[in-house]
Structure 1
Amino acid sequence: MKWWITGFLLIFFSILSLFTGVSDLSITDFFSLSDEQQEVLFVSRIPRLVSLLIAGMSMSIAGLIMQQLSQNKFVSPTTAGTMDSARLGILVGMLLFPSASMMEKMLLAFLFALAGTFVFMKILDKIRYRDAVFIPLVGLMFGNIIGSVTTFLAYRFDLVQSIGTWLHGDFSMLIEGRYELLYLSLPVVILAYIFAHHFTIAGMGEDFASNLGLSYQKVLYLGLGLVALITASVVLTAGMLPFLGLIVPNIVTIYQGDHLRSSIWQTAVLGALFVLVCDILGRVIIYPYEISIGLTVGVLGSGIFLYLLLRRRSYGL
């Protein structure tokens, strides 16, 4: 795959995103913007574009790290209970600390996401039947259990509508002052690149990594921590983006291979492009109304996921 084409498409759709919407703002007005158009561009459109790019990039890299560490191409924050755990953490924060700041809620979501991912990895160690499809099914069941607990607590304390509306993937409400939490994902992406070789070696198994002098447990905890932090920041800011961390790394590794450092930036670019296209589709399909990106990503992502399942023999592990 020609990755310069992906980069060109990312730039093209980024510009298209800035001038797609209900407000009267077109590219021909760029050098003669009125005060109202400037406010729309700098308060709404640019923060939304930045949020889309960061969320798509970081969630795709999170999925890539999880697939490398678990040695399974169908593991991601969606199929490992990470997103559901982060959502439970946010609900617990709403119940116990209603006046907590966004940063404090994100810390709680991070702790729950980390704990949930760690529990899933421990379950993974106990499973003897390591079929490529069986593992994510276990993760989906684990995530549904956590999701059921979240729904029960939300119903018990009359927060079903609040938690459902807030955490459904949607970028339409992200404006200046409400998206900056996503910037925490950027240093995490840089750390993922720095430790890419470590994740690649750890993905070959604990015995192999130990023979090369790598502390497998430390690398595992570092990877899970990075994934949990990315998931918590994205879920708290933009909501749930299902299957994103699953399909994008799979598409990249089909063409690029399993070496994490050589594929991490391609994964980031393709993830940002995929989210951007889904968001634009959601804005134009029923214009002037908007379909939430959680729905568009879920529909397209589940379709690609089914396709990957049908060709699962290509992922002999």
Structure 2
Amino acid sequence: MRASWLGLFVLLCGASLLIGARQMAWSQVWSLSGDAWLTLTASRLPRLAALVLTGVGLSVCGVILQHIVRNKFVEPGTAGGLDAAKLGILVSLVVAPAAGATGRMLFALAFCFVASLVFVAIIRRIRFKSALLVPVIGLMYGGVLSALAEFYAYRNNILQSMQGWLLGDFSRVVQGSYEIIYLILPIVALTYLYAQRFTVLGMGEGMASSLGLNYRATAAVGLMLVAVTVSATVITVGAIPFVGLVIPNLVALRYGDNLSRTLPIVALGGASLLLVCDILGRLLIYPFEVPIGLTAGCVGGVLFFALIVWRHR
């Protein structure tokens, strides 16, 4: 089954390289010169790398949050993480306008980490009779953070700057503007090293503590990994919803919740879903493209609704 996932992923990567507003002369590509080679190396390969790393990072973020909160309907988009990262970027534009991408990412990281801690604290204090109420609380929490971000942008006359972070868009990914996304690679490696601990974390604080796991420290590590990934993603390509929600659920339905075994499939699934959404966005109104934030929102929203109905039944 993993081989079929890998085969699908390779096919999607090839399709992503072939599709574009400009037709490439492959003779120039093989000769490693000309405009086609420049288009491939400066635009399409960076875009493919950003797509794969973003999909992997968001799906891994989702599975970490779901184990920490012990709820299958939680991901950065339904826990306030994406909205907090956008708020952090807007604050950096006012407080430190010359900070650059790294400085903005640090602001986004700090805001996302603190917002995630607050969300976890809220969920731990409220006893829910239905698991579906947790993402509802998360969406309300994210709505408050988003409203704060809009008010802050309005008061500081940077509302136009905010629009660039509302929807994910890979069209601006070119060589020299996306490399910060490679931070996701060590994050995924650390997540795999902590996979068994995160699996135990999902059993609850009592069970995890009885098995000798430092629950609070492990949860803090998981939230920091999520914050780094979300901030790097939002800085590079903007906010993309639902990837971290639907993929971990679909994988868990088929393979279970043991992250040591399922994490590679979750990563491949997230990358494949984002590639599908990107290819769809580039073909719908060719030679123009629909921002991936819209296509991922539509596809992910439909899958999210199907998961809610399935879980309810």
- TM above 0.5, yes or no, is yes
Query: Paired residue for 1:235?
Result: 234
CA distance in 2 between counterparts of 1:168 and 1:150 reads: 15
Query: Paired residue for 1:175?
Result: 174
State the secondary structure of the residue aligned to 1:181: helix
Q: For 1:102-117, what aligned pairs fall within 5 Å after superposition?
A: 102-117=101-116
String of CA shifts for 1:179-212, please: whole Å, max 9, x gaps: 1000111101000000011111111111111111
Contact 2:168 2:292 in 1 (8 A): yes
Query: Paired residue for 1:21?
Result: 20
Contact 2:75 2:242 in 1 (8 A): yes
Q: Report the CA distance between 1:101 and its aligned residue.
A: 1.7
CA distance in 2 between counterparts of 1:65 and 1:261 reads: 12
String of CA shifts for 1:94-152, please: whole Å, max 9, x gaps: 11111112111111100000000000000001111242100000000000000000011
Going from structure 1 to structure 2, the CA distance change for 1:49 and 1:12 (only over 3 Å counts) comes to same
Is the counterpart of residue 262 in structure 1 residue 266 in structure 2?
no
CA distance in 2 between counterparts of 1:151 and 1:92 reads: 11
Query: Paired residue for 2:121?
Result: 122
Query: Paired residue for 2:251?
Result: 252
Q: Report the CA distance between 1:32 and its aligned residue.
A: 4.4
State the secondary structure of the residue aligned to 2:257: coil
Query: Paired residue for 2:43?
Result: 44
Comparing 22-31 with 170-179, which one deviates more in the overlay? 22-31
Contact 1:210 1:216 in 2 (8 A): yes
| 1:200 aligned partner, one-letter code | T
Contact 2:29 2:37 in 1 (8 A): no
Contact 1:19 1:27 in 2 (8 A): no
Is the counterpart of residue 35 in structure 1 residue 52 in structure 2?
no
String of CA shifts for 1:213-262, please: whole Å, max 9, x gaps: 11100001000110111001001111011111101111111101011111
Structure 2: tracts of 5 or more residues without a match: none
CA distance in 2 between counterparts of 1:63 and 1:28 reads: 42
Query: Paired residue for 1:298?
Result: 297
Comparing 215-224 with 28-37, which one deviates more in the overlay? 28-37
CA distance in 2 between counterparts of 1:78 and 1:16 reads: 28
Contact 1:240 1:294 in 2 (8 A): yes
Q: Report the CA distance between 1:3 and its aligned residue.
A: 2.4
Q: For 1:280-291, what aligned pairs fall within 5 Å after superposition?
A: 280-291=279-290
CA distance in 2 between counterparts of 1:100 and 1:143 reads: 26
CA distance in 2 between counterparts of 1:193 and 1:130 reads: 32
Query: Paired residue for 2:141?
Result: 142
String of CA shifts for 1:47-98, please: whole Å, max 9, x gaps: 0000000000011000001111111000110110011111100010011111
Q: Report the CA distance between 1:159 and its aligned residue.
A: 1.5
State the secondary structure of the residue aligned to 1:171: coil
CA distance in 2 between counterparts of 1:255 and 1:23 reads: 40
Contact 2:28 2:37 in 1 (8 A): no
Going from structure 1 to structure 2, the CA distance change for 1:27 and 1:282 (only over 3 Å counts) comes to farther
CA distance in 2 between counterparts of 1:223 and 1:93 reads: 24
Contact 1:247 1:301 in 2 (8 A): yes
Contact 1:17 1:280 in 2 (8 A): yes
Q: For 1:7-18, what aligned pairs fall within 5 Å after superposition?
A: 7-18=6-17
String of CA shifts for 1:269-317, please: whole Å, max 9, x gaps: 0100110111111111110111000000000001111111111236xxx
Contact 1:19 1:26 in 2 (8 A): no
Query: Paired residue for 2:206?
Result: 207
Q: Report the CA distance between 1:29 and its aligned residue.
A: 6.0
CA distance in 2 between counterparts of 1:255 and 1:26 reads: 42
Contact 1:132 1:312 in 2 (8 A): no
Q: Tell me the TM-score normalised to structure 2 length.
A: 0.97
Contact 1:93 1:108 in 2 (8 A): yes
State the secondary structure of the residue aligned to 1:78: helix
Q: Report the CA distance between 1:30 and its aligned residue.
A: 4.0
CA distance in 1 between counterparts of 2:221 and 2:26 reads: 44
Structure 1: tracts of 5 or more residues without a match: none
Contact 1:241 1:298 in 2 (8 A): yes
Contact 1:247 1:304 in 2 (8 A): yes
Contact 1:167 1:236 in 2 (8 A): no
Q: Report the CA distance between 1:34 and its aligned residue.
A: 4.8
Root-mean-square deviation over aligned CA pairs: 1.3
State the secondary structure of the residue aligned to 1:5: helix
Q: Percent of pairs identical after alignment?
A: 41
CA distance in 1 between counterparts of 2:126 and 2:205 reads: 16
State the secondary structure of the residue aligned to 1:311: helix
Contact 2:55 2:272 in 1 (8 A): yes
